[in-house]
């Protein structure tokens, strides 16, 4: 059974601060706060049922860079009973273990999914794991979105459809941080290709965008499992509580 649609508020970390990139460009980062734990607490207070955290420094370098901030977020979330998924630079079992030790519920592997798919399969056998598919014009990008992989997002999604991962986190890099609207057409196509739960990311600007994503369906009637929302929340386009109410997040589809 496909889980209910969830809204995942995003906390992207760069140098210990909460930021949003524009189309994945590290030189076009906007800082929204220097206390990630306080931001996590605010999202939890508004009814978040998951938090989505990305270590942007680690995504670029491959080395953990914001573990203190992630630990603080995980602590706040645990006190509120809210699970946390974290991605960015998770390219070894040790890196994943460090996050799980901090109280992270699920890790997201992106570059490693392309470079070392056996690592993903092995971790998924004993831990909650998602695969991050960050695509630019249909091509999956790696190493902090800085390099193309030469592989199509649908082909990579198919490769992980039956290996035990919890979900695919699919980001349209060209839309990420732009408030330009999500790629509903592309996500609909991807849904028809794989049965695995899919979380959409990139471009959400309005409550209508979220409602449109929540309405996307496979032929069998199942839909997206949720959407990651970042800049729209930080810019005040809408409140997280309103997003949850508008999509029926937390309920069964």
pLDDT digits (tens, 9 = 90+) for 42-54: 999 999 999 999 9
- pLDDT, tens digit only, all 253 positions of the chain: 334 899 999 999 999 999 998 887 889 999 999 999 999 999 999 999 999 999 999 988 888 899 999 999 999 999 999 999 999 999 999 999 999 999 999 999 988 888 899 999 999 999 999 999 988 777 787 765 556 667 888 989 999 988 999 999 998 877 777 788 999 998 999 999 999 999 999 899 999 999 999 999 998 999 999 999 999 999 999 999 999 999 986 544 3
- pLDDT value at residue 147: 60
Domains of the chain: residue spans and CATH: 6-245 (3.20.20.70)
Indicate if 172 belongs to the active site. no
Rounded to 5 degrees, φ, ψ at 85 are: -110, 140
Position 62 scores a pLDDT of 86
- CB contact at 8 A, 192 and 217: no
Contact 9, 45 (CB under 8 A): no
Q: Which of 27, 45, 101, 134 is catalytic?
A: 134
34 is catalytic: no
Q: Which of 12, 57, 176, 183 is catalytic?
A: 12
Predicted pLDDT at 179? 82
Which pLDDT value is given to residue 252?
Answer: 40
Q: Would you call 118 exposed, middle or buried from its count of C-beta atoms within 10 A (0-12, 13-18, 19+)?
A: exposed
The pLDDT value given to residue 250: 55
pLDDT of residue 149: 63
């Amino acid at each position: 059974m496909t889980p209910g649609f969830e809204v995942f508020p995003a906390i992207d970390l760069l140098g210990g601060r909460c930021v949003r990139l524009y189309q994945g460009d590290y030189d076009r980062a906007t800082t929204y706060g220097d206390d990630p734990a306080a931001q996590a607490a605010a999202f939890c207070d508004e009814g978040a049922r998951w938090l989505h955290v990305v270590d942007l420094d680690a995504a670029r370098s491959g080395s953990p860079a914001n573990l203190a901030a992630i630990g603080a977020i995980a602590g706040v979330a645990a006190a509120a009973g809210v699970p946390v998924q974290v991605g960015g630079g998770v390219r070894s079992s040790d890196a994943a273990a460090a996050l799980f030790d901090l109280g992270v519920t699920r890790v997201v592997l992106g570059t490693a999914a392309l470079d070392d798919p056996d690592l993903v399969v092995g971790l998924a056998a004993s831990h909650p794991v998602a695969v991050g598919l960050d695509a630019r014009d249909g091509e999956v990008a790696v190493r902090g979105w800085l390099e193309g992989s030469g592989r199509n997002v649908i082909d990579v999604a198919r490769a992980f459809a039956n290996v035990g991962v919890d979900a695919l986190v699919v980001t349209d890099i060209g839309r990420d941080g732009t408030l330009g609207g999500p790629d509903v057409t592309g996500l609909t196509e991807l849904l028809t290709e794989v049965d695995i739960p899919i979380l959409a990311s990139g471009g959400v600007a309005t409550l209508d965008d979220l409602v449109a994503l929540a309405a996307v369906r496979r032929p069998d009637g199942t839909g997206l499992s949720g959407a990651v929302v970042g800049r729209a929340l930080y810019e005040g386009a809408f409140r997280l509580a309103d997003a949850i109410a508008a999509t029926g997040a937390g309920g069964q589809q």
